């Protein structure tokens, strides 16, 4: 590929990536509402999928330091959405689970987000959606690998 064509593709990627991310972020935030931040919602989502996890696991998955996760978990615990439970064998380990209220709020919020995504994803045919998601997952894998290689330097 010549440099001019490559530059044009890079410019298009940067422009569309910025546009889609900003618009999607704004629309998802609107669906989440004022009860939660996006980080709090994604934290609830991860805990719900796992049933329980630790702050260290969350910090690793989200690529942030443990103090950032501790602040999110403290706010979610204060809101009555997350429960901390100490491991009986190793008291240093604290498991995080959703309370009934946390499950309820998460499921209500998640349903609104699903409806939002459904409203635009159904504008594509099934093959377009499949190819897009496969490509997006491939991009995610490439970025994860590049991040791992960068951190290992």
In a domain, 107, yes or no: yes
Show the domain range for 77.
35-122
Number of domains the chain contains: 1
In a domain, 133, yes or no: no
Residues making up the chain, counted from first to last: 153
3-state percent breakdown (helix, strand, coil) of the chain, nearest 5: 75, 5, 20
Stated as kind and residue range, the H or E segment containing 132 is: helix 126-151
Per-residue pLDDT tens digits for 99-127: 999 999 999 999 999 999 999 999 999 99
pTM summary value: 0.82
In a domain, 150, yes or no: no
The CB density around residue 120, as the number of other CB atoms within 10 Å, is 10
CATH number at residue 86: 1.10.10.10
**Mean pLDDT over the full length of the chain:** 92
In a domain, 145, yes or no: no
Report residue 150's pLDDT band, with 50, 70 and 90 as the boundaries: confident
In a domain, 142, yes or no: no
87 Cβ contact partners less than 8 Å away, ≥ 6 residues apart = 93, 94, 95
Is pLDDT above 70 for 152? no
In a domain, 93, yes or no: yes
In a domain, 73, yes or no: yes
In a domain, 76, yes or no: yes
Per-residue pLDDT tens digits for 16-45: 999 999 999 999 999 998 889 999 999 999
Tokens of 135: 């490509």
Per-residue pLDDT tens digits for 40-91: 999 999 999 999 999 999 999 998 999 999 999 999 999 999 999 998 888 8
Residue with tokens 């689970």: 97
């Amino acid at each position: 590929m010549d440099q001019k064509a490559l530059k044009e593709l890079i410019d298009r990627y940067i422009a569309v990536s910025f546009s889609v991310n900003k618009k999607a972020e704004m629309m998802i935030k609107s669906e989440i509402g004022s009860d939660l931040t996006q980080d709090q919602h994604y934290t609830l989502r991860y805990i719900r999928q796992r049933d329980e996890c630790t702050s260290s696991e969350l910090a690793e998955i989200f690529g942030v330091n443990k103090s950032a996760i501790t602040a999110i978990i403290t706010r979610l615990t204060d809101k009555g959405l997350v429960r901390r439970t100490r491991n009986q064998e190793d008291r240093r380990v604290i498991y995080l689970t959703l309370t009934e209220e946390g499950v309820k709020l998460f499921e209500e919020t998640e349903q609104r987000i699903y409806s939002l995504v459904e409203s635009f994803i159904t504008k594509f045919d099934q093959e377009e959606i499949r190819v897009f998601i496969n490509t997006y997952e491939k991009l995610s894998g490439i970025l994860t690998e590049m991040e791992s290689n960068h951190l290992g330097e």
